[in-house]
């Protein structure tokens, strides 16, 4: 359900005094959004771990089985480190989410936290993924048996800034608007469940 539709339900039912029904309906919608964000974060985490493990094993294969290209062990260690970093972030995220309260307010907090988590990961994407990946590619090209054409250096290494730009664009166009909507809904919910003098409703 769109954010505007959730607001419509909330305002309409508050105007008729059906606050409990409004909260139940909002909880159902917010839980669906929260569930989507949870699965999205989980898919992203395990996807990154799978990529890093694959590249890490691939980088270590020849040095460990044939005794050649020892420089590839650097790439393997870097990728395995990135995989551990992503898994550590997942454990920390789930621990924070588990400490949030139940109900509409808690689900909104979880949804907002998941978006903040995704935004933070995207904004540091350069440091924890792109730079290690660029270093691996640079070492592989530099130690290649045959000289790598200049155009290939530019094409491959130039794809990293492009990937960063795409990630940042996704944050601006996708994650930040959703975060603003959820924060507005949270604030409106807080106003709607308090009496005019600002005291908590009994």
Q: What is the pLDDT at residue 68? A: 80
Q: What is the pLDDT at residue 15? A: 52
Residue 45: domain span: 3-192
> Where does the pLDDT of residue 20 fall: very low under 50, low under 70, confident under 90, or very high at 90 and above?
low
- Please indicate, yes or no, if residue 198 is contained in any of the structural domains: no
Distance of alpha carbon 122 from alpha carbon 124, whole angstroms = 5
The more confident residue out of 83 and 21 is 83
- Please indicate, yes or no, if residue 179 is contained in any of the structural domains: yes
- Please indicate, yes or no, if residue 199 is contained in any of the structural domains: no
* pLDDT average, residue stretch 106-114: 89
Share of the chain above pLDDT 90, in %: 40
Give the Å distances, CA to CA, from 3 to 104, 168, 181, 185, 186: 14, 23, 7, 8, 11
Contact 99, 76 (CB under 8 A): no
Among residues 64, 100, 98, 102, the alpha carbon closest in space to that of 80 is found at 64
User: The pTM is what?
Assistant: 0.76
User: pLDDT tens-digit profile of 22-43?
Assistant: 566 666 777 787 888 889 889 9
Confidence check: pLDDT of 199 > 50:
no
Confidence check: pLDDT of 192 > 70:
no
Structural domain count, the chain: 1
> Where does the pLDDT of residue 1 fall: very low under 50, low under 70, confident under 90, or very high at 90 and above?
very low
Distance of alpha carbon 8 from alpha carbon 82, whole angstroms = 43
- Please indicate, yes or no, if residue 197 is contained in any of the structural domains: no
Distance of alpha carbon 193 from alpha carbon 185, whole angstroms = 12
């Amino acid at each position: 359900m769109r954010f505007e539709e959730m607001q419509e339900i909330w305002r309409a039912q508050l105007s008729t005094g059906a606050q409990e029904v409004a909260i139940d309906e909002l909880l159902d919608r917010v839980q669906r959004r929260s569930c989507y964000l949870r699965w999205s974060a989980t898919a992203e985490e395990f996807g990154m771990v799978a990529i890093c493990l694959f590249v890490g094993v691939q980088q270590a294969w020849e040095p460990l089985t044939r005794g050649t290209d020892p420089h590839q062990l650097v790439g393997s260690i870097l990728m395995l480190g990135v995989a551990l970093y992503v898994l550590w972030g997942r454990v920390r995220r789930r621990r924070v989410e588990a400490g949030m309260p139940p109900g509409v307010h808690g689900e909104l907090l979880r949804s907002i936290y998941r978006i903040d988590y995704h935004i933070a990961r995207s904004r540091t994407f350069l440091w924890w993924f792109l730079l290690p990946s660029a270093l691996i590619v640079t070492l592989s090209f530099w130690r290649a048996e045959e000289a790598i054409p200049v155009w290939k250096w530019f094409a491959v290494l130039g794809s990293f800034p492009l990937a960063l730009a795409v990630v940042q664009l996704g944050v601006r166009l996708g994650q930040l608007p959703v975060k603003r909507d959820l924060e507005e809904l949270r604030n409106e919910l807080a106003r709607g469940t308090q009496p005019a003098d600002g005291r908590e409703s009994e």
